[in-house]
């Protein structure tokens, strides 16, 4: 999955809290968020207001939460783990470690693996988006 595909996938599943998300989808969207945040900060500084930053943050908040929950699902964890982020420093580190882990092969309780395919195919289902 490339940058554009990942951003399109996440934004098209704006409030899709079920299912699974590959590492590439998660991290490309994370990069997209960082690029947007930097650009918006520059514009906000130039106009002397924070309104654009607030609006963009609110717009990207739900897709960010949704893709994080789907990434946790892909590693076999419940979405409730997102609340570990409330623990200063340690929570963020734990979420980063979880987000960096490989997908669970085959199906899990959250659906078929977007990386490895469904176990109904013996784990050899065709790869989505070129298998990257």
Domain range for 29 is 3-118
Render pLDDT for 93-103 as a digit per residue (tens, 0 to 9): 999 999 999 99
pTM as predicted: 0.84
Render pLDDT for 61-100 as a digit per residue (tens, 0 to 9): 999 999 999 999 999 999 999 999 999 999 999 999 999 9
Closest CA to 79 of 60, 92, 98, 61: 98
Q: Rounded to an integer, what is the distance from CA 33 to the centroid of its chain?
A: 11
Domain assignment of residue 124, yes or no: no
End-to-end alpha carbon distance in the chain? 6
Q: How many domains does the chain have?
A: 1
Domain assignment of residue 126, yes or no: no
């Amino acid at each position: 999955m490339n940058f554009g595909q990942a951003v399109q996938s996440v934004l098209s599943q704006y409030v899709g809290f079920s299912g699974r998300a590959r590492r590439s989808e998660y991290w490309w969207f994370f990069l997209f968020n960082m690029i947007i945040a930097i650009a918006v900060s520059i514009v906000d500084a130039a106009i002397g207001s924070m309104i654009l930053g607030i609006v963009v943050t609110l717009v990207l908040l739900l897709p960010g939460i949704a893709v994080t929950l789907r990434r946790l699902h892909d590693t076999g964890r419940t979405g409730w783990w997102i609340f570990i982020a409330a623990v200063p420093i340690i929570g963020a580190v734990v979420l980063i470690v979880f987000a960096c882990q490989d997908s669970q092969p085959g199906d899990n309780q959250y659906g078929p693996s977007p990386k490895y395919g469904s176990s109904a195919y013996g784990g050899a289902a065709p790869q989505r988006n070129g298998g990257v």
